[in-house]
Structure 1
Amino acid sequence: MRIAILGASGRTGGTLLDQALERGHEVVALVRTPAKVATPASRQVEIRKADVTVPRSFPDLADIDVTVSAVGIGKGDGPGALVAGARVLAAAGVRTVWLGALGSGVSRRSGGLIYAGVMRMFVGSELAEKAEADRIALDAGATVFHAPDVTDGPLSPTRRTVPLGELRRPLLPPRISRATLASLLLDEAETGEHGTGIVVPLG
C-alpha cells in the first residue's frame, strides 16, 4: 500500500513513518521542511515538500492509496493551519485518516469532566479550529481519530479503536502512547474498517 503521511517530521508523524515502513508499505512523507525528516539511508521514503498554507503548490496525491494526517498546530503557526490541512486533503480526493483531539467539538465532554477542564485550560484557543478541521475532514469522507493525551511509552497489547458513541466516559483523564496511537491509525489506513466518522483510539 502507498501511504502518504502529512506531518511526517513531527513526533507522531515520525512514529507513523517508522511503523509504516516496518509493515512493508511504500511511504511518502508530506512535510513543510524536507530536511527535518530523519530516516536512515537504508529506508526508502519519498519526501514531498508540502505546505498546507500554500494549497496551489501542494503536491499531487493521485498515486496515493491513503493519507494519514498527523499535522498539528506547531510553534509559530498562526491560526488556520489545521483547517488548511483539512482543506487540501479534502481537495486531493484521497482516502484520509485524520488525527484530531478528544475533547474538541462533539467529543468535548467524552474524556470526562477533569479532562474537559484540562483541555479548556491548555488547548482552549485551538478547540474551535480543531472542530472546524474535523468537520471539513468528515465532509470529505475521512475517518477522524479523537485521540486523548499522547505520551511516550510502549505499544499497548490491548489497543483498540471504538466509535465515539460507544466510548465510556472515564473518571480520570485518558492517555495513549504515541506508539499505540500510530499503530491504530495505520490499522485504519490499511482496513478502512470504521469508514467516515469519529473514532477514539484506546490502549
Structure 2
Amino acid sequence: MRIAVFGSTGRTGIPLCEQALERGHEVVAHTRSPEKLTFDESREGVTIVEGDAYTGEGVDKAVAGADAVVSVLGQSDASPNDLLTVAGDHILEAMAEHDVIRFVTLVGAGVREEGESVSLGGKAMGALLKLLARDVLEDSADHARRVRESDREWTILRVPRLGEGDPSGDYRIGDLQLGFEAVDRADVATCILDRLEKGDYVGAMPKVGDA
C-alpha cells in the first residue's frame, strides 16, 4: 500500500512512517522539514515531498498515486488556530482530484459525537480543554465535521493525552470511556496502520486508549 502521511516529522508521524515501512508499505512523507525525518529518499519505499499542508504546498503531489492518506498533524504554540481544518480541506480536495478514497485522521478525544456518553474524567478533561485550549478543540471539531461531510472512506481516530517512550504494541479501540490517561504515540501509529490494513471503522469516530 502506498500511504501519504501528513505530519510525518511529528512525534506520532515518525513512528507511523517507520512502522509502515517495516510492514512493507510505501510511504510518501509530506513535511516542511525533511531534515527531521529519521530516513531519507535513499531508503527503499520512501518518497519525500517538501511542502506546507496549511498553504497547500506539495499536498497534491503527495496525494497523487496514493492508496490511502493519513493525517497526524498536530497543533503547536506556533501553529495557526485553524491548522487542522485548513490543511484537512487541502488534503480532501487533493484526494477528490486524484480519486483517493481512504483517509484516516487523528483528533483529540475532546471532540464529541452527538449524544455520546462521556465519563466524569472525560467531562473534566473536556472542561479543561475548553478553558486552556479552546482554539485547538474548535479546530479539531471543525476538521472532524468537514471530514464527516466528505464522500471519502474516512476514519477519525480520537485519542486522549499522547505519551511516548513506553509503547506496549497494543491498544484499545471503540466506544471507550477516557479521561486523563495517556496512550503512547507508537501504539496510536500501530492502530492507524491496522485500520488501513483491515479496512474497518469506515465512517466512524472510535476512541483509542492504552491497553
Q: TM-score, normalised by structure 1?
A: 0.86
- What is the match of residue 159 of structure 2? 147
Paired amino acid for 1:160: R
Identity of aligned residues (%): 30
1:101 and 1:185 mapped to 2: Cα distance? 14
**Aligned pair 1:188/2:204, yes or no?**
no
* Paired residue secondary structure (1:97): strand
Paired amino acid for 2:32: R
Q: 1:81 to 1:157 in 2, by over 3 A?
A: closer
1:56 to partner: Cα distance? 6.2
Q: Map of 1:74-89 to 2, 5 A cutoff? A: 74-89=76-91
Deviations 1:122-154 (A, max 9, x none): 322311111001111222232000111111243
Structure 2 unaligned spans of 5+: none
Q: 1:158 to 1:20 in 2, by over 3 A?
A: closer
**Aligned pair 1:6/2:13, yes or no?**
no
2:137 counterpart (127, 135, 142): 127
**Given that residues 146 and 199 in structure 1 are in contact (C-alpha distance below 8 angstroms), is that contact kept between their aligned partners in structure 2?**
yes
Paired amino acid for 2:162: V
Q: Map of 1:84-163 to 2, 5 A cutoff? A: 84-93=86-95, 94=100, 95-106=102-113, 109=118, 112-140=122-150, 141=152, 142-156=154-168, 158-162=170-174
Q: 1:122 to 1:41 in 2, by over 3 A?
A: same
1:155 to partner: Cα distance? 3.1
1:35 to partner: Cα distance? 2.4
Structure 1 unaligned spans of 5+: none
**Given that residues 195 and 201 in structure 2 are in contact (C-alpha distance below 8 angstroms), is that contact kept between their aligned partners in structure 1?**
yes
- What is the match of residue 183 of structure 2? 176
Paired amino acid for 2:90: V
Paired amino acid for 1:150: L
- What is the match of residue 26 of structure 1? 26
Q: TM-score, normalised by structure 2?
A: 0.83
